[in-house]
Amino acid sequence: MAGVTNAPFRTLCREFAPGLVYVNEMVMATAVVHGNSKTERMMTFGADEQPRSLQIYGSDPVTLGEAIRKLCDADRVDHIDINFGCPAAKVTRKGGGAAVPAKPNLMRAILREAVAAATPYAVPVTIKFRKGLFDSLLTYIETGRIAVDEGVVAIALHARTAEQHYAGSADWNAIAELKAAVHEIPVLGNGDIWEAADAVAMMRETGCDGVVVGRGCLGRPWLFRDLVEALNGRPVPASPSLGEACAVMARHGHLLAGHLGENLAMRDFRKHTSWYLTGYPVGGETRRRFANISTLAELEDLIAPLDPTIALVAGGERIRRGHTNGPIRVALPDGYLDHLDDVTVPDDSHVMALSGG
């Protein structure tokens, strides 16, 4: 997740559940090819991190292939995931992101280049996509079939349309339909996994082979430990007390400061404090103070007086965090839907800062 799943966050997640695949923040193919200091920092992995899993975005087959070849050649990744679900207007307006699957021939060309670039290095390519742009243009089954044809090794469906954005419930029936249509490679389901039991339910109800976690882990990295317990049929630990949650928050803050430098890190960490405190009755004033921190010392000073025994409110795990808005008006290039068979490459080379998928 953009702005979230950087190296420190993934370290924290691995401390709770080693052995899962934690995907890095999305990077732009053009930025990888041309070099960019922010992208370089984003592509940092932990010394012991395995697999080094990177999500990449690009809608020009040649540029994407070049970026993947460069990363593989420098031995910087073990897994590439391609994002075809980004609904950001500045991306779809140029025909990129979630708009690409509407043009199956273009998507096929992108996947062909990507897989051709990664295969000599034995780096697997996966893709993540939405149901389609809107309910009247659902593309997920065709996308899944094209992925199989082109040698993608696993697919993940965020079971919402781009128009739906982050609102409403994910449509788990769509995951079941995709699973029924794609037997050759694992199908992963994504959408509304807030608690470990949701992952168990999604796999049981849809038959999917695994799950992708989004907002559920914001301020709750222990969700991954819970998932491992639940999927192995073991009891899931109770949600942490405020004291336990704050200890994880402090650890996260320190890791992030080591990565970005204290000043930048603490600005970035403000959003995380709100996610960690979600569902704990600490009061608005305390939340506001956390949302203004500038130093690690301030973070610790704010944690110290809190009552560590405070419990999460009932249902607090399911309080939505991160993006919640939608539906949106999907921005597309003029006439984009007139010729869905064309392979015109969207000119998205200038799109360098994104909000993800």
Ligand X SMILES: Cc1cc2nc3c(=O)[nH]c(=O)nc-3n(C[C@H](O)[C@H](O)[C@H](O)COP(=O)(O)O)c2cc1C
Between 82 and 303, whose beta carbon lies closer to ligand X?
Answer: 82
End-to-end CA distance of the chain: 8
Between 2 and 67, whose beta carbon lies closer to ligand X?
Answer: 2
Rounded CA gap, 78 and 67, in Å?
A: 14
Q: Minimum CB separation from ligand X for residue 124, in Å?
A: 16
Q: Minimum CB separation from ligand X for residue 227, in Å?
A: 12
Q: Minimum CB separation from ligand X for residue 184, in Å?
A: 22
Between 3 and 308, whose beta carbon lies closer to ligand X?
Answer: 3
- The pair of structure tokens assigned to 125 is 């390519």
Which residues are annotated as catalytic?
Answer: 86
Question: Closest-CB residue for ligand X?
Answer: 356
Q: Minimum CB separation from ligand X for residue 297, in Å?
A: 27
Between 112 and 323, whose beta carbon lies closer to ligand X?
Answer: 323
3-state secondary structure the chain: CCCCCCHHHHHHHHHHCCCCCCEEEEEEHHHHHHCCHHHHHHCCCCCCCCCCEEEEECCCHHHHHHHHHHHHHCCCCCEEEEEECCCCHHHHCCCCHHHHHHCHHHHHHHHHHHHHHHHHHCCCEEEEEECEEECCEECHHHHHHHHHHCCCCEEEEECCCCCCCCCCCCCHHHHHHHHHHCCCCCEEEECCCCCHHHHHHHHHHHCCCEEECCHHHCCCCCHHHHHHHHHCCCCCCCCCCHHHHHHHHHHHHHHHHHHHCHHHHHHHHHHHHHHHHCCCCCCHHHHHHHCCCCCHHHHHHHHCCCCCCCCCCCCHHHCCCCCCCCCCCCCCCCCCCCCCCCCCCCCCCCCCCCCCC
Between 55 and 278, whose beta carbon lies closer to ligand X?
Answer: 55
Residues 274, 279, 281, CA angle at the centre, nearest 5°?
A: 95
Q: Minimum CB separation from ligand X for residue 356, in Å?
A: 2
Q: Minimum CB separation from ligand X for residue 318, in Å?
A: 11
Binding residues vs ligand X (CB under 6 A): 1-4, 25-26, 55, 83, 85, 128, 158, 170, 190-193, 214-216, 322-323, 356-357
Between 1 and 77, whose beta carbon lies closer to ligand X?
Answer: 1
Q: Minimum CB separation from ligand X for residue 55, in Å?
A: 5
Between 6 and 63, whose beta carbon lies closer to ligand X?
Answer: 6
